[in-house]
Amino acid sequence: MLAITRYEGDTSAPTLLIAHGLFGSARNWNVIAKRLSGPRPVISVDMRNHGESPWFDSHSYADLAGDLAEVIEAEGAPVDLLGHSMGGKSAMVLALARPELIRRLVVADIAPVAYSHTQGHLVEAMRGLDLTGLTSRSEADKRLAASINTASVRAFLLQSLDLKASPPRWRLNLNVLDREMDKIVGWPAPEGEFTGPAMFIAGAESDYIQPDARPLIKAQFPKARQIKIPGAGHWLHAEKPREFEAAVEAFLSA
């Protein structure tokens, strides 16, 4: 079973389940999960091969959707499901395969398509980080800067570095994530349709949801609303948290 972080709320409302993206964890969603809780219980998971969740040899979207289904069945279906990037694809695959588990679906900055980019260079940078004698995040950041220029990307990745372990270690199954990268950036093209309410939120500065993806979204998620958050890129929940949270709250409570 996936590792779960819980936030209390009104149990007469459906639980909101949050699934993070590649290299993320439930911790990345802590502030938003807390703020969305209250009117409803919220649970945030570490996806397989991430955070405190178990490591496996495979990382397909069928696997990821199956993990989420196991959590939902244990919690009591249906839930509202919010997924970002890799978590968004996992959420879509589950919604198409097991629509009865989901009341409302929120997909953040990802489309039901295969992408040509890879995040393999980030895996290499993390693998290449010299962990010898590391005791501070600032020192880790300094070392990681040799291979990753962008400070915000380094800060995001370093949230998954466990400095309390001896020796320090990544809370990411880097070998499997690297080997399965084609599946992660790809799309298994599942059949089916989710006819419940759905909202696809894009960052206006992100290029992850292209115009040609919109008819594909509508074909399998016929009730999907599609909105953009101005000034936000791919990590829209981190870059424009209040706007993101307001859009999700309005949709869930509609």
Asked if 94 and 194 sit in the same domain, the reply is yes
Asked if 59 and 162 sit in the same domain, the reply is no
Give the separation between CA 222 and CA 200, rounded to whole angstroms: 12
Total of domains in the chain: 2
Q: Could you tell me the pTM of the whole model?
A: 0.96
Which of the listed residues 161, 178, 195 is the one where a domain comes to its end? 178
Give the separation between CA 110 and CA 184, rounded to whole angstroms: 12
The amino acid that residue 87 corresponds to is: G
pLDDT digits (tens, 9 = 90+) for 156-192: 999 999 999 988 999 999 999 999 999 999 999 999 9
Asked if 99 and 201 sit in the same domain, the reply is yes
Asked if 225 and 129 sit in the same domain, the reply is no
Asked if 17 and 110 sit in the same domain, the reply is yes
Asked if 217 and 133 sit in the same domain, the reply is no
pLDDT digits (tens, 9 = 90+) for 111-160: 999 999 888 899 999 999 999 889 899 999 999 999 999 998 999 999 99
Tell me the residue range of the domain where 168 lies.
Answer: 120-178
What are 142's two structure tokens?
């300094």
Give the separation between CA 106 and CA 36, rounded to whole angstroms: 13
Handedness of CA 36, 107, 246, 195 (dihedral sign): negative
Judged on CB neighbours under 10 Å (0-12, 13-18, 19+), 212 is: exposed
Handedness of CA 233, 238, 240, 243 (dihedral sign): positive
Which of the listed residues 148, 178, 208 is the one where a domain comes to its end? 178
Asked if 90 and 215 sit in the same domain, the reply is yes
Which of the listed residues 178, 198, 213 is the one where a domain comes to its end? 178
